Amino acid sequence: MELKDCTGDIGQVHFKIRSKLDPFFCRPDDTTDDIRTSADYEEEEIVKMPRSDFGDYCPVTFVDEGYLVKGGSDEDGGENNELYVYGKRYFFAGSKEMEKFKNDPSKYMIVQQQGVNLPIQPPAPKFLITGNKCAGVTTQINSLCEKFKLEALELMDSFNKKQAE
């Protein structure tokens, strides 16, 4: 550990020390020189490679614009928009997004949190459940919110609040 790890408030220092000592703490990969295309791999290797944390979705669009867009091949050119970074497959919405990623991969893979670099996490899942009265919709929503640690949004309550304003 270095002296700079002991600067900041108590929460930041605790976070920095834990990230250095805990072997299971999530650390980002170093992306300085390991960005490859499909030409660098055999077909069997590509099939066995795991997808990135974003799955089939474009990390560039998520970081830059705040929403998920399915990645893969261009509609017009049929070009495959995939890159392989440290043994993971990243898919991009288009060739522009893929070039942005190549130019600055750490921007789209690493976030600074309390002075420590961590991998960017994809957004939490969102569910929409509808049904008739007494069908168990509220029960299902509460169990999903408890399991995934999400907040429930009651549309009727939100609508009534907006109407009142």
Average pLDDT over residues 21-49: 63
Instruction: Choose between 9 and 165: higher pLDDT.
Output: 165
CB atoms within 10 A of CB 81: 21
- 65 band by pLDDT with thresholds 50, 70 and 90: confident
Residue 119 CA: distances (Å) to CA of 135, 136, 141: 40, 37, 29
pLDDT of 82 reads: 84
* In the chain, domain spans: 3-119, 124-165
pLDDT of 107 reads: 81
Residue 143 has pLDDT above 80, yes or no: yes
- 34 band by pLDDT with thresholds 50, 70 and 90: low
Amino acid 136 reads: G
